[in-house]
Structure 1
């Protein structure tokens, strides 16, 4: 494995949604989600599919290998466009399958995706944590956990989607140090997924430290990111509401890019962009309809950290 690819994958899995909608099961505790009153479901779904295809086209044009799977909606999976929550891949040939908070999201798990990964990449082990759903314990993949794959740290904002028991078990098995912290939005509520306030790239990190109320923990996290050799780019709360923290660095044929939504990119200041572009080129993707579901570009791409066969 090339060291420079450890944090920044060159391939990913994406799910084309054919019956996309903003999931009514998750709107209660996802403050980033929005349901348009009286919207025509067919129009929303068509717009989401169009945005998805354009995003895949842009990523592929950069030389990034995207494995596309279709979801025709037979199993009622409105959030299937966000596959990063139910599985993750890791260096050394490991795959994790995660327990999901929402019943509709549990139906997103697909054996054909796991079999494709096993056939295309070197996979030694698949570890399935989904049985914890029976105990009402959840850990929603790289939504709940933001990985520093180089320093082997899992940054985790505490929430009902990041159970500490499973987190400890996962980190022990996969070799990460869990670093948990309390988060709070403008209403004092926990942020539902860590990856909406934190992006860790190879040479920089985007983070809203203002949403970490404990000053000691805030300083520790900033120090850990800085000590890893990264430049910390602080985002404000308004930028987080525009999904500026929900991005993914990937490696294309001409170097690293930061896959981010157009909305999020527009919220970044010029000085922040200048720091990012010292090591990665911005790739804005136009996905306003998909963002209605409470996630953005990072959630759409399940990065592949496996070695090709």
Structure 2
């Protein structure tokens, strides 16, 4: 049975004070400050969060929701995949974050909820590199092909290439590193806004990849058996690259994305994706506008064995 056939748990953090994060806006071109009050933005984001969780659970996808605390203030806590990742060998990895207020997301309550339910056999703490201004923001900075042991990453201020290779060495991945820019020529801040790697296919903004790296990226995807669905800059801006393939309790796979991302796709693109697995989409407009991230960023996949399996 492949990794993608095995059920997973999704860790999701219900925000306590979601909002536009000034500390991340400089390197995240996807963020746009809302004209609404902080309270209105937060309340709308919570409704979007709850609706997505409910939709996932309706499809028998296991979701572990941890309520964030109001203090310390962590406006981006809704995006846990940036600071922690979980792996089949029982490893939990903590990552160094670019924004100082995002470092506060590594809260005891979240880690305790994970350790209470899952057998964490090894902790790899890369967050100490924050002291040297070296950053690697988890499965935002890189996109994993867990079956083929590949880690795709575009270079950015938030993705230190040496740290990526250190991660790959410890977790047995091969790094596929490339340059990628948006329509304005700005470095794309996170790889997971421009590409998604699933079991048999990959969604990627090929035209964003630097000319000198493009052929190698395409060849690696094809060699690993992926059908490539190319999206445009406009579709990337609508978060069509920020998708995640998930597996429910019955071993059935789904592709999760926002409604904005889904609406940006052409009918033939939807048909291609649905030939592999059903699509789940939910409105995340407030989260996307103010947070600069979307559905994939909201879900941290937990592949670690649950303690209940050892009772």
TM over 0.5: yes
Q: What CA distance in whole angstroms lies between the structure 1 residues aligned with 2:26 and 2:159?
A: 17
How far apart, in 1, do the equivalents of 2:84 and 2:8 lie?
17
Report matched runs for 1:66-77 at 5 Å: 66-77=63-74
Residue 195 of structure 1 aligns to a residue whose secondary structure is: helix
Unaligned runs of 5+ in 1: none
Is residue 113 of structure 1 aligned with residue 114 of structure 2? no
The answer for the alignment partner of 1:190 in structure 2 is 187
Query: How far apart, CA to CA, are the structure 2 residues paired with 1:9 and 1:272?
Result: 26
Q: Does 1:11 align with 2:3?
A: no
- Distance, in Å, in 2 between the alignment partners of 1:64 and 1:238 is 30
Asked whether the 8 Å contact 1:91–1:305 carries over to 2, the reply is yes
**Which range is displaced more, 135-144 or 108-117?**
108-117
The CA RMSD over aligned residues, in Å, is 1.3
Q: Which residue of 219, 225, 234 corresponds with 1:223?
A: 219
| Residue 174 (structure 1) aligned with residue 176 (structure 2) | no
Q: How many residues align?
A: 305
SS at match of 1:233: strand
Unaligned 5+ runs, structure 2: none
SS of alignment partner, residue 25 of structure 2: coil
In the other structure, the counterpart of 2:245 is 249
Which piece of structure 1 moves more, 217-226 or 194-203? 217-226
1:105–1:29 distance in 2 versus 1, CA, 3 Å: same
Q: CA deviation digits over 1:182-221, x for unaligned, max 9?
A: 1111121100000000100111100001001224x21111
Other structure's SS at 2:57 match: helix
**SS of 1:289's equivalent?**
helix
| Contact 1:9-1:304 within 8 A present in 2 as well | no
TM (norm. structure 1) is 0.95
Q: Which moved more, 1:111-120 or 1:101-110?
A: 111-120
* TM-score, normalisation: structure 2: 0.95
* Contact 1:144–1:156, Cα closer than 8 Å, also in 2: yes
Shift, 1:18, TM fit: 2.4
Tell me the residue number matched to 1:199: 196
TM-superposed CA distance for 1:79, in Å, is: 0.3
Secondary structure in 1 aligned to 2:23?
Answer: coil
1:265 and 1:308 mapped to 2: Cα distance?
32
